[in-house]
Structure 1
Amino acid sequence: MLISRRRNLEFAVGAHIFVKVSPMKGVMTFGKKGKPSHRFIGPFEILERVGTLAYRVALPPNLAGVHNVFHILMLWKYMSNHSHVMNYKPLQLTSNLSFEERPTQILDRQGRRLQNKVIQMVNVKWLNHSEEEATQEIET
């Protein structure tokens, strides 16, 4: 017996959604390879449904070079709440909906001791992230 773990997604025309974007592939951050974390931008309004799994989205003029039809897996439902205020800082997106991650500040330094050597680690704040989302990287 096969159990489907997918959620049934469906959006109404006129609803607001977020669009998933990801960092550029191949950008090495302090020599660290890893899975890039995705970001959601928006909210944007759905203009129409295209087929069974795609939607046409109203994009702002600064994203005019991006195709405005997205697969349903690239969308995330926006739950409107009048009491919350969004701190919106626009990302510099490329035409393939990716953005570059760059370190902006070293917040902390510390040494991690292994069996017979000490590795210097730094706490790095990234360009499009807050200080709470800082990561630990090797100093080299």
Structure 2
Amino acid sequence: RDRQKSYADLKRKPMKFQVGDKVMLKVSPWKRVVRFGKWGKLNPRYVGPFKVLERIGDVAYKLDLPKELSRVHNTLHVSNLKKCHADEPLAVLLDGLPLDDKFHFVEMPVEIIDREVKRLKQSRIPLVKVRWNSKRGPEFT
């Protein structure tokens, strides 16, 4: 077991946070389980930043989570955290993301920008370019 642990530890990097550090919370899908939203490659993988309140043991931390995440326990394993290196305004904030009660992202179409009809042999395929109400900005369609 010690030999196996030594091989596994070579792939891991030790992560330790101090009280008051800003960390990002991992919300990406894992093992076909959808957490905090729909399955998709363009969804944010981390949300935050959140402040570390307390260190519990060697691998657990207590975070200052907002009331939108009241159903998520505020004590998390270090594997679900990532140090926040970005400035505050550049980070994806949780209050800007429209979430329903099951933590699915809610995006609604705002306007239709462009329409086009492509022809494929005998059929016609309508293509529509839509602007969404996402936090990412109006340039994302």
Q: TM-score normalized by structure 1?
A: 0.59
Residue in structure 1 matching 2:85, options 74, 79, 85 = 79
Compute the displacement of 1:121 (Å): 1.5
Ranges of 4+ aligned residues in structure 1 off by more than 4 Å: 2-8, 86-89
SS in 2 for 1:110: strand
Mind listing any 5+ residue stretches in structure 2 that lack a counterpart? 1-6, 28-34
Q: Does 1:45 align with 2:28?
A: no
Q: Is the CA contact (8 Å cut-off) linking 1:101 and 1:126 kept in structure 2? A: no
Larger radius of gyration: 2
- Structure with the higher helix share, 1 or 2: 2
- Contact 1:20/1:38 (<8 A) preserved: no
Structure 2 distance, partners of 1:113, 1:9, is 54
- 1:103 matched to 2:101: no
Same amino acid, percent of matched pairs: 30
For 2:85, what is the secondary structure of its paired residue? coil
Query: Alignment RMSD, CA only?
Result: 3.4
Q: 1:8 to 1:123 in 2, by over 3 A?
A: farther
Q: In 1, distance between residues paired with 2:36 and 2:71?
A: 17
Letter of the 1:58 partner, please give it. Answer: D
More strand per residue: 1
Whole-angstrom CA distance in 1 between matches of 2:117 and 2:24: 40
**What residue ranges of structure 1 are gaps of 5+ in the alignment?**
26-33, 135-140
